[in-house]
Structure 1
Amino acid sequence: MRSLIAAVREQGEAARFLAWPGDFDLDRGDHVEDVHLASGAALEGFAGDGAGGTFFFCGEGGEERPVLYADSEGGAALVAMGLPELLRLLLIAPWWRDCQTFTAEESRRLAAEYLEDVPDLVARRDRTAAALGLALPSEEDVLARLWEVATGIGKGFVLIFTPEGEPYDPLIRG
């Protein structure tokens, strides 16, 4: 079975959709600051966004590892339990970073803003999911799962700014 990272790299349209509107680029895996997990578990940057944020795999293993996102402003959150879950989040709700209340109304408003800028978003999303072999859950389910991961399991994944020994602020507060 090929890895999802390899599949994204091989599928040009998928890589372009994930780069925008997903704001996920496999060529940006270096974080700008020296960081570590408070637990001492391994931390591996593997992708980033246009604003200097980084996606990290946590612990040992492959693409099934938990994924932590750290922005460039000192905020971090566990956002997915594995790369497939992260990619479903990016495909369904690329506006997830703008969510404050995680309500259906807020998500509809954010989705409408994205659709104004990217009118073919749904068609491109569906082609990307098919190319990567990912079944897509509902928007409500993917945002509920993000909330569950970030405010539940995620409390055990504290990112530390190594030079000062200070934790990053939670991006999603429960």
Structure 2
Amino acid sequence: MQSLITAVREYDAAAQYLAWPGDFEPDRADHGEDVHLASGAALEGFAGDGAGGTYFFCGAGGEERPVLYADSEGGAALVAIGLPELLRLLLVAPWWRDCREFTAEESQELAAEYLADMPDLAARRDRAAAALGLDLPTEVDALRRMRETATASGEHFILVLTSEGEPYDPLFAG
């Protein structure tokens, strides 16, 4: 069976949607700073975004491992348990970084801004999801799950800037 990250690279509809509006680039896995998990668990960068953020797999295993996102400003959060969950989030709520309250109203406002620029957003999203074989949750469910992951499980995934021994700030308040 083909890995999901390989499928992202091979299916144009998925790669294009995840590149924009998802801001997810599987060929941009170098974080630029030496970091580690406070727990000592393995950390593997596997994708990035245009602003210098990095997605990391945490611990041992494959694409089912927890996914931590670190931005270029010293913030980090566990955002998904496994690559399929991360891709679902990026497909249905590519504006997740701008959500601070995680409400349906906030998500709808952000979605409206994206739709104003990309009227075919839903059709592109659906083609990408179909190419990857992913069923999609609602925006609200995806954001709720990400918040639960970041605030409940995330406390066990503290990213540390190795050179200074200082932890990254949490991206989201508990």
Whether these two folds match at TM > 0.5 is: yes
The one-character-per-residue Cα deviations of 1:99-133 (angstroms, maximum 9, x if unpaired) are 01111111100000111111111000000000000
Question: Which residues of 2 match residues 1-174 of structure 1 at below 5 A?
Answer: 1-174=1-174
- Partner SS for 1:150: helix
Q: Give me the whole-angstrom Cα distance separating, in 1, the residues matched to 2:169 and 2:118.
A: 31
Deviation at 1:85, TM superposition (A): 0.1
Deviation at 1:38, TM superposition (A): 0.1
How much identity, in percent, do the aligned residues show?
76
Give the unaligned 5+ runs of structure 1: none
Q: Give me the whole-angstrom Cα distance separating, in 2, the residues matched to 1:140 and 1:49.
A: 23
TM-score (norm 2): 0.99
Q: Give me the whole-angstrom Cα distance separating, in 2, the residues matched to 1:140 and 1:102.
A: 8
Q: Give me the whole-angstrom Cα distance separating, in 2, the residues matched to 1:152 and 1:117.
A: 34
Q: Give me the whole-angstrom Cα distance separating, in 1, the residues matched to 2:16 and 2:104.
A: 27
Deviation at 1:2, TM superposition (A): 1.1
Deviation at 1:4, TM superposition (A): 0.3
TM-score (norm 1): 0.99
Letter of the 2:170 counterpart: P
- Partner SS for 1:51: coil
Letter of the 1:93 counterpart: A
Using the TM superposition, name which of 109-118 and 88-97 deviates more. Answer: 109-118
Letter of the 1:64 counterpart: E
- After superposing on structure 2, the runs of 4+ consecutive aligned residues of structure 1 that deviate more than 2 Å are none
Deviation at 1:137, TM superposition (A): 0.7
The one-character-per-residue Cα deviations of 1:71-121 (angstroms, maximum 9, x if unpaired) are 000000000000000000000000000001111111100000111111111
Q: Give me the whole-angstrom Cα distance separating, in 2, the residues matched to 1:127 and 1:76.
A: 30
Computed over aligned residues only, the root mean square deviation of the Cα atoms, in angstroms, reads 0.5
Letter of the 2:97 counterpart: R
